[in-house]
Amino acid sequence: MRKKDDEKEKSIKKAVVKLILQEGFHGTSISKIAKEAGVSPATVYTYFDSKEIMLQDIYREYMEEICHYILSRVHYGMGEKQLIEGLIQSYYDYIEENQEIFSFVDQFSNSPSLVNGCSETEGIFDIKMLIADLKQREIIKNYHDENVYAMIFYPIKAIAVNSNKTKAERTELLHEMIGIIQDTLLV
């Protein structure tokens, strides 16, 4: 068995994200990934058993990264408005700082045939637990979980990926949306 190399693995992941965004899931083959990463197809198989497993593993890793990023910027010592703002701002910041990775995760999330094979990540579970705790402590209203996630994450994604707006315009929209979400969610 061949020895694994962290740099090769990073190169493969970077190639996967780039090619998926350029050519889609079906247009991206192991041979294209290998070529883009500067490795052989056999090397790709050293790290991943199949294309589907590779995509799911990379998706889970990046979902964990996003969730960890969000959760690392909020804590229970924050005031209620500050906590909601922290969740929203950190999600926005992650998207701004990691546009390609976020686009890959977003595209993957919208592909039911791929995402159905993924178990829930620990990070998603932790965000769900945070929301449940905030509802139980009556910090946020007891709306259906799906609506709470939609209120927090979907409008922020729409603002962050809006390339028709300048950074200043997006920032203004973000701050207005933070206030709207706080007014809607907080008890």
Query: Is 0.85 surpassed by the pTM of this model?
Result: yes
Element at 178 (helix H, strand E):
helix 167-185
d(CA 183, CA 172): 17
The class level of CATH for 1-48 reads mainly alpha
Tokens 């409008």 identify what position? 155
Q: What is the pLDDT, as a whole number, of residue 53? A: 87
Domains of the chain by residue range: 1-48, 59-185
d(CA 88, CA 90): 6
- Conformation bin of residue 111: beta by default, left when phi > 0, alpha when psi is -120 to 50: beta
Q: What is the DSSP string of 81-118?
A: HHHHHHHHHHHHHHHHH-HHHHHHHHHHHT-HHHHTTS
As given in the structure block, the two tokens for residue 49 are 């058993």
**Per-residue pLDDT tens digits for 45-90:** 988 998 888 888 899 999 999 999 999 999 888 999 999 999 999 9
Q: Are 55 and 39 in contact (CB under 8 A)?
A: no
**Per-residue pLDDT tens digits for 130-184:** 999 999 999 999 999 999 999 999 999 999 999 999 999 999 999 999 999 999 9
The residues with which 140 forms a beta bridge, in sequence order, are 186
Residues near 58 by beta carbon (within 8 Å), at least 6 away in sequence: 13, 16, 17, 104
